[in-house]
Amino acid sequence: MAVFMAVCAGLGLAAACGLRVFLPLFIASIGIKMGLLSVGGPFEWLGSNAAVVLFGTATVVEVVGFMVPWVDHVLDLLAAPLAAVAGAILMTSQLLVGAEAMNPEGVEVQTALIPPAVAWSLGIITGSVAASGVEAASIAGRLSSSVLTIGWLNPIYGMAETVLALVVSVITLLVPIITGVLVMLFLPILLLAVWRIIAWRRSQRRAHEEKLKHARERIALAMSQHASRMATAPSPAGPERPTSA
């Protein structure tokens, strides 16, 4: 059960990174300091004061940036790889959490729930996939908003993403099983939908390129035919000059 709860917490935080990169890291840092979230030994730095200040400042910059139309697209390009890294960090930090046990000498020690090699591999893969899947869906929605509203509704879209990332992160700290199960259920559907959207956009782009190609060919043919007619047309006779007596 402890492993399942760790997976749920990691998936919830990783998925939230797909909406906002630094907000889940900031919430996780606060949760670690308050004792609401446990992390593996290599990730105890997430609960340091420096991490709280750094992630808090980055969160403010990120949230404000996504409120500016067209600037959000630039941030999307930067956030796509960062979201995968943040998701992998938070997922791995949960899988490396150990259970308390007593050694033969009666000293309390931490025993790994999952072998470290497995935890690192599973955390990097699943965390990055969860964050990247949600990030891809977020980018697709933002592009649709930009096309349909010329970017005017993007600030509202950005605010909705921020609120959703905050809600998911907080619920993950309090009841990780809820967000974990929801991510497990909806992430495959979300990835399939994103794949279909990307495939549709590629087909539309190919169709547009084919139309442009045919239009250029028709223009070139028309110009060639016009040049041929001009070359074969008889020269117009000039005005007759009067003959001298």
Predicted local confidence at residue 102, as pLDDT: 43
CB of 116 closer than 8 Å to CB of 97:
no
CB of 22 closer than 8 Å to CB of 62:
yes
pLDDT in tens, 40-78: 888 999 999 999 999 999 999 888 887 776 676 677 778
Instruction: Supply the mean pLDDT for the chain.
Output: 81
The mean pLDDT of 116-133, rounded to a whole number, is 89
CB of 17 closer than 8 Å to CB of 131:
yes
71: exposed, middle or buried (Cβ count in 10 Å: 0-12, 13-18, 19+): middle
The mean pLDDT of 175-190, rounded to a whole number, is 84
Predicted local confidence at residue 166, as pLDDT: 93
Q: How far apart are CA 39 and CA 61, in angstroms?
A: 26
153 confidence band (pLDDT: 50, 70, 90): confident
